[in-house]
Amino acid sequence: MDIKELNLEQAKELYEFLQGKFMPEGYELKNIPKLNQEEAFTIIYILQTHFRVVKDTIEPCDNCGELFDTDSDGEYHDCDSCEDEWCKKRYPLADFEELKKALNYKFFCNECCEMNYLAENGVI
Ligand SMILES: [Zn+2]
Ligand SMILES: [Zn+2]
């Protein structure tokens, strides 16, 4: 039997289920998992990379924690290869080293989350 990869919507349900926030209809389970976001994503991650049953471009947003598909959405920044081009243009008033520290290898589901994250961390 071919195993079909979970898409974003299904992965989101699993992610919520693992945090005790979602239960498929018709189930009354006694032992409901109550993981935090990091633990829940650890399970998704191993399902992506080892078991290969979840689409591997799905990531959690580093600001709000929601899952999104980096294939079709979101912001990802690799400062080590962009030097100061991208972030400097986008946040001209911020300190480049601080931006780099805050943004490097982070995923954000949209620009608002990225800006919130930088604001909350005192970078902009
Ligand atoms: Zn977000
Ligand atoms: Zn950069």
Say if 51 falls within a structural domain: yes
Say if 36 falls within a structural domain: yes
Q: How far apart are CA 17 and CA 34, in angstroms?
A: 8
Q: What is the mean pLDDT of the chain?
A: 93
Say if 3 falls within a structural domain: no
Q: How many CB atoms are located within 10 Å of the residue 76 CB?
A: 13
Instruction: For residues 47 and 82, state if they share a domain.
Output: no
Q: How far apart are CA 60 and CA 69, in angstroms?
A: 9
pTM here is 0.88
- What's the domain count of the chain? 2
Instruction: For residues 52 and 87, state if they share a domain.
Output: no
Residue 84 clears pLDDT 80, i.e. is over it: no
Among all bound ligands, the one having the nearest atom to the CA of 64 is 1
Q: How far apart are CA 14 and CA 29, in angstroms?
A: 15
For residue 13, CA distances in Å to 26, 50, 53, 105, 106 come to 15, 20, 14, 25, 23
Tokens 């349900």 — which residue? Answer: 13
Say if 32 falls within a structural domain: yes
Cα 40 to ligand 2 centroid, rounded to whole Å: 29
Structural domain boundaries, residue 20: 8-56
Tell me the pLDDT band of 12, cut-offs 50, 70 and 90: very high
Say if 45 falls within a structural domain: yes
For the stretch 68-77, pLDDT in tens is 999 999 988 8
Among all bound ligands, the one having the nearest atom to the CA of 62 is 1
Q: How far apart are CA 48 and CA 30, in angstroms?
A: 27
Among all bound ligands, the one having the nearest atom to the CA of 63 is 1
Say if 100 falls within a structural domain: yes
Residue 9 clears pLDDT 70, i.e. is over it: yes
Cα 74 to ligand 1 centroid, rounded to whole Å: 8
Contact 93, 78 (CB under 8 A): no
Residues with CB under 5 A from ligand 2 (ion): 79, 82, 86-87
Say if 66 falls within a structural domain: no
Instruction: For residues 46 and 80, state if they share a domain.
Output: no
Instruction: For residues 13 and 50, state if they share a domain.
Output: yes
For residue 86, CA distances in Å to 23, 32, 64, 68, 120 come to 42, 44, 23, 22, 20
Say if 116 falls within a structural domain: yes
